[in-house]
Chain A
Amino acid sequence: MENLVEKVKKNIASKNQRFPCYVNRASSIGYFVPELNGCVRKGVYERTNWQEKELYDSNVLLIFAEGNNQERQVLKDLADAGVDIIEQQSAFEWKEYQISGHLDGVYIEEGKAIPVEIKSMSPFIFDSIHCFEDFKKKPWTRAYMAQIMIYMLFKNIDKGIFILKDKSTGNLKQIDVNLDYELAENCIKTAEKINKHIKENTLPEKIKDIETCKDCKFKLICCPDINFGAPLKIIDDPDFENKITKSLELKESSNEYDKLWKSITDKAKASVVNGELNQLVGKYRVYGKLSSKGSFTTKIDVI
């Protein structure tokens, strides 16, 4: 049978190309702001080395396309509900900071033009966002924070609106945004830094952040040093290994088991480095992560 889906993916991939970039895009600035774990160097590369940017694969392009479709649908739903969103997809350019962007729309309330930004997302992310601070969790949601700050500054207004859509259920959520002066200033400063580097033909220092660098589309020219994860420590401790073996042989919830398990978890917790434990103890992998609340669950895999 002919693979029809593959045809769609190939078609999308064939339209995938690089475009020259001569300005700082409002939707991208969040990826460059150091205070949002961003990388200024990436911001410079976007403009100076756009020809060498890795292209997205067809699965990611499908996600982008889906996002655009969802956004159009939300605007239609708002219009059907009698909500008047004006200036839809209006382009703007802020020459002073070499920033450009497209507003999804503007809502007029009490004579004020409030920028409206529509974002669709997975149910997991949708459920985790209840206020503006919650956008800090993921790199792309942090970029949304910067984006709306830029729009609010440009529109000279201290209010903004996010309309979020759950891609799975179609559920909608509104997050009202107040201008965060510090964040807004950091966004503008970042744009200024990028502009200065481009003018002087220089590059900012590399950052060292696996989360940022691993998916960066400029890693082939930046060549960052990367630690793939917390180093696995190889521990030669037959006593500890024996305790683990015994605990696995014992029945859970027996007194002896409880005692043994406590001594194992105490020892494991004491060996945590930078919030993580990653050890190879004989034929066991002992690992776990310290939660933000300070709790630790020891996990053991038999090799």
Chain B
Amino acid sequence: MSENKEVVVNETSLQMMPSSDTQLEQTVKNAERYIELQNNIRRMAVKLTNQNDWVNQNSTPYMEISGATKIANTFGVSMGDMIFEKETIKDDKGEYIIYSCMALLSFNGRSLLEEGNSSTRDAFFGKTKEGFKPLSEVDLVNIKKKAKTNMLNRGIKNLLGLSYTWDEIEEITDNKINRNAVTGVTYQKGTSGGNEDTDLEKQQRQKIGQMLMIMTGDDKENAANLLEEITEWTTKEGEKRKGKRSARDISTKAVKVAYGNVKKRYIDFCKKNNLDYSEVE
């Protein structure tokens, strides 16, 4: 008779160093079991959604907040310590406001601090056919709400490890959810809304990740720390603002600057370690 035990899925259990063959065998078993459990979680999550919860975004499946909320309800995700930050920024097009929402999301003993942003230049709430709405005409409550929605949507997926290909989704749901049936969204290159990446920005974002991983010897935590350090900035009022821990979280507008700074650091690193950096030059 097997022992009935509750499993707390976390990655630290996989990092234990085995000191004997028996332990090694156990570690491998644990790893296999962990992968199986993680796979079951991913399968179950998709099965809780329907095709209205997905969009086909540039040929990649994107789960909407409606789907993420269904999953959070069933998995019993909890959310705490939610805070908002408001930042007013000026550029050549005028003044606009960015809201950031941060909260701690938890599931099965694992927690994640997540962030979501939205600005008064949001394509839906902050724009008309003629261009950006004046700040006085933008409902800030909607912008705050969207920042929270973005935080929650991203956080639930990151916490549970929910990123999929269309092939996976179609297999899990027996084609009930498929790429041809869901709404498609294609972003044009160089969109004027300022919310979506151009191809160049996408490449830069990807390169940032690659350079960080090389500099930190493929250590994700250290890579996040390094990015946070490099992207930290100071407001006009002299207040320090925390940097981003993931290249994905850098706003479209800031990607170019972040890329430049990471590249500078990377070239220094390569020079110091006699590595080739011609690829990024």
Q: Determine the distance from Cα of A278 to Cα of B108 in the docked complex, in whole angstroms.
A: 12
Q: Which of B5, B77, B141 has the most CB of A within 10 A?
A: B141
Among the listed stretches A24-32, A226-234, A249-257, which one makes contact with chain B, having 4 or more residues with CB under 8 Å of it?
Answer: A226-234
Docked complex: B28-53 residues within 8 A CB-CB of A: 33, 36-37, 40-41, 43-44, 47
Decide: A220 and B145 in contact? CB cutoff 8 A.
yes
B73 engages A228 (CB within 8 Å): yes
Cα–Cα distance between A129 and B139 once the two chains are bound (Å): 39
**Complexed CA–CA distance, A229 and B4 (Å):** 23
B76:A223 contact, CB within 8 angstroms: no
Of chain B, the residue at the smallest CB distance from A267 is B4
A237 touches B47 (CB 8 A): no
How many whole Å from A50's CB to the nearest CB in chain B? 11
We find that the number of chain B residues with CB closer than 8 angstroms to chain A is 39
Contacts known (A231-B108, A303-B40); A225 close to B7, Cβ less than 8 A: no
Q: How far is the CA of A229 from the CA of B44 in the complex (A)?
A: 16
- Complex formed: what's the CA distance from A175 to B69 in Å? 37
Are B79 and A233 neighbours in the complex by a CB distance under 8 Å?
no
Query: Judging by beta carbons under 8 Å apart, are B141 and A52 in contact?
Result: yes
Chain B residue numbers with a CB within 8 Å of A236 are 4-7, 33, 37
Residues of A close to B141: CB separation below 8 A: 52-55, 220
Chain A residue with the shortest CB-CB distance to B3: A237
Distance from B31 Cβ to chain A, minimum over Cβ atoms (Å)? 14
Q: Is A239 an interface residue (CB 8 A)?
A: yes
Q: Mark A99-139, 1 if CB is under 8 A from B, else 0.
A: 00000000000000000000000000000000000000000
Which single residue of chain B is at the shortest CB-CB distance from A18?
Answer: B141
Docked-complex contact B76 and A235, CB < 8 angstroms: no
Give B225 Cβ to nearest chain A Cβ, in Å: 27
Segment with Cβ contacts to A, from B80-88, B234-242, B245-253: B80-88
Please tell me if the beta carbons of A237 and B4 are within 8 angstroms of each other in the complex.
yes
Interface residues on A, range: 20 to 34
**A235 to B5, alpha carbons, bound, how many Å?**
6
Q: In the complex, what residues of B have CB within 8 A of residue A278's CB?
A: 74, 76
Q: Does B2 contact A (CB under 8 A)?
A: yes
Chain A nearest CB from B108 CB (Å) reads 6
Which of B7, B76, B79, B142 has a CB less than 8 Å from the CB of A230? B76
Task: Please measure, in the bound complex, the distance between the C-alpha atom of A235 and the C-alpha atom of B41, giving whole angstroms.
Answer: 12
Q: How far is the CA of A282 from the CA of B139 in the complex (A)?
A: 47
- How far does the Cβ of B64 sit from chain A's closest Cβ, in whole Å? 16
B residues near A229, Cβ cutoff 8 Å: 72-77
User: Is the Cβ of B84 less than 8 Å from the Cβ of A228?
Assistant: no
> Which B residues lie within 8 Å of A282 (CB)?
36, 40
Residues on A with C-beta less than 8 A from B96 are none
Given contacts A220-B148, A231-B108, contact A237 B139 (CB under 8 A): no
A226 and B107 CA atoms in complex are apart in Å by: 12
Closest to A242 in B: B2
Q: Among the listed B4, B83, B139, which residue makes an inter-chain contact with A240, where contact means beta carbons less than 8 Å apart?
A: B4
A208 to B133, CA, bound (A): 38
Chain B contacts of A238 at CB under 8 A?
2
Contacting residues, chain B, for A80 (C-beta < 8 A) = none
Closest Cβ–Cβ distance, residue B65 to chain A (whole Å)? 12
Q: A167 interface residue, CB < 8 Å from B? A: no
Picked from B43, B69, B78, the residue with its CB within 8 Å of the CB of A227 is: B78
Known: A233-B6, A236-B5, A278-B74. A228 touches B108 (CB 8 A): no
Say whether A285 faces chain B, with CB atoms less than 8 Å apart.
yes
- The yes or no answer to A301 lying at the interface (CB within 8 A) is yes
Q: Is the CB of B82 within 8 A of A232?
A: no
Residues of B within 8 A of A280 (CB): 37, 40-41, 44
* Beyond A233-B6, A236-B7, A301-B47, 19 additional pairs, beta carbon < 8 A: A53-B141, A220-B145, A220-B148, A225-B79, A227-B78, A228-B69, A229-B76, A229-B77, A231-B76, A234-B6, A234-B7, A234-B9, A234-B37, A235-B4, A235-B7, A238-B2, A239-B1, A240-B4, A303-B43
B-binding residues in A (CB < 8 A): 52-55, 220, 223-240, 278, 280, 282-283, 285, 301, 303
